[in-house]
Amino acid sequence: MVPTPHFSLRALTLAVAAATAGFSFSASASMGNLGTTYGVMPVDVATAQSLSMFNDQVSATYYNPSYLTSDERGELTGGILHAEQELRSSRSDADGDIVSNSPSQHVLIGMKTNLASLTRFKHPIYLGFIAGVEKYGKEMLAFSSETSETGQYLQYGKEPLFLNIGGATPLWRGISGGFSVRVTLEAAAQLDAVSTLGGETSRERLAVNAEPSLKSILGTTIKWGDTFCPDSGCFLDGWESALTYRTKSSASTSVDSNIIVTQTIPDPGLSLAVATIDSFQPETIAIGTQYKGDGWRVGGSVEQQNWSELEDEFAGDSIKDQENVSAGNRIGFDDTLVPRIGAEYQLSRNFALRGGLAYEESPLKTTRNPELNYLDTDKIVAGLGISATYERTRLLAYPVRLDIGYQYQQLQDRDFTIVDFDGNERQTTADGDIHVISGSITLKF
């Protein structure tokens, strides 16, 4: 007789196959996303997200929805982002040191418009959305969650569906407020089947459902000059401050299976349930300030990212399975502060140059995580970009704007202990380099 554990593995394989029936599973596991890891639009990429809270493009729906009010015109933006990753783990017993080098490739589209004409009050109400899809639009619902005996990076991977929808309105004398939702998916699969000892299945029944999960983003912006001296200039002119709050979010998948194996496992069969998360974004509180001069601006922000909440998420994850791990071996996370600074200079009427710097501490507290073997390091982020505005368009009422942004991320050396599935330990040093290029075209209306 074949041992029962074999059929447990077989049933689990069938269950996972059920969940993947309608999806693409070529993505690697990731606890980051497009907005937090790289930046949504070229301005965000080029400034290392230091000026993202004051970006008047549609990416404001993610970073600071209240800043949708900064430009009264409508906007249609399309863009692409390509990130080349070389994530390394140096071990004496390994043939090579590259853990992952698969690129992340997003196509993005966003729109903003003023809905004031829909009401009788004529009070400005701005609506915006932005969507990003992996593999230049070919991969919408990829998902992966796994254990590893060689090491896997915590924050880098693919997150095919990036979707934010929100609105904003002026409140009072230079003060505006905004609200948006980040849309993630909660997928559920149910598989029932009868299998022979040879693995041939019959009487299969498969059901896959995906429900949207909405997570809130709040933002407010104050233009100090307009608030305290609206009728006459004062020393507060040019100063702006913003405060935003993003709730935690993640994509999740659950799989329930019931397998009957003829002559071995009779009715009601073997039941297995798997629940796992991917693409976790921590609860984030950010405050930022900028000063706008004549043809230039400089600003920065500080983010409080509450990664410690991920420990509770992993406790309920049947793949990460931290609930059944001894307290001393459980993976741990720290809350982090991320400082960012950036500047922009108007070279001429048609060209603007911008750049930014950020330092991001790793939230991964533990350096020995059996089976999961997550790797993550502190990183230095630097960006540079340029905008070009084409004014003389024969068909369009407003100028066309082109943006290009480049970002380099240097992952600092950090030592980890890798534990394989047999319990053998090896020392490794993690580091890496990431190059990001992003471009967009923006039409006003």
Give the tens place of pLDDT for each residue, 67-118: 999 999 999 999 999 999 999 998 777 777 888 888 889 999 999 999 988 8
Burial 250-273 (b: 16+ CB within 10 A, else e): bbbbbbbbbbbbeebbeeebbebe
Tell me what the mean pLDDT of segment 282-305 comes to: 97
Q: Quote the pLDDT of residue 12.
A: 42
Catalogue all structural domains in the chain, each as residue range(s) with its CATH number.
Answer: 26-444 (2.40.160.60)
Phi, psi of 157 (to 5 degrees): 170, -170
For residues 360 and 396, the answer to whether their CB atoms sit within 8 Å is no
Tell me what the mean pLDDT of segment 32-56 comes to: 93
Q: Quote the pLDDT of residue 140.
A: 74
Q: What is the pLDDT of residues 119-168, one digit of tens each?
A: 888 899 999 999 999 888 777 777 778 888 888 999 887 667 889 999 99
For residues 381 and 406, the answer to whether their CB atoms sit within 8 Å is no
DSSP letters along 20-48, please? TTTS---PPP-S--HHHHT-SSHHHHHTT
Q: What is the pLDDT of residues 324-343, one digit of tens each?
A: 777 788 899 999 999 999 99
Q: What is the pLDDT of residues 365-375, one digit of tens each?
A: 999 998 889 99
Q: What's this model's pTM, rounded to 2 decimal places?
A: 0.88
Tell me what the mean pLDDT of segment 304-321 comes to: 90
For residue 290, CA distances in Å to 218, 244, 298, 349, 362 come to: 19, 15, 6, 21, 26
**β-bridge mates for residue 388, sequence order:** 351, 402
Q: Quote the pLDDT of residue 261.
A: 86
Rounded Cα distance, 319 and 310, in Å: 14
The token duo for 361 is 């501490």
Rounded Cα distance, 307 and 313, in Å: 10
Rounded Cα distance, 407 and 110, in Å: 21
Q: Quote the pLDDT of residue 27.
A: 38
Give the chain's mean pLDDT: 88
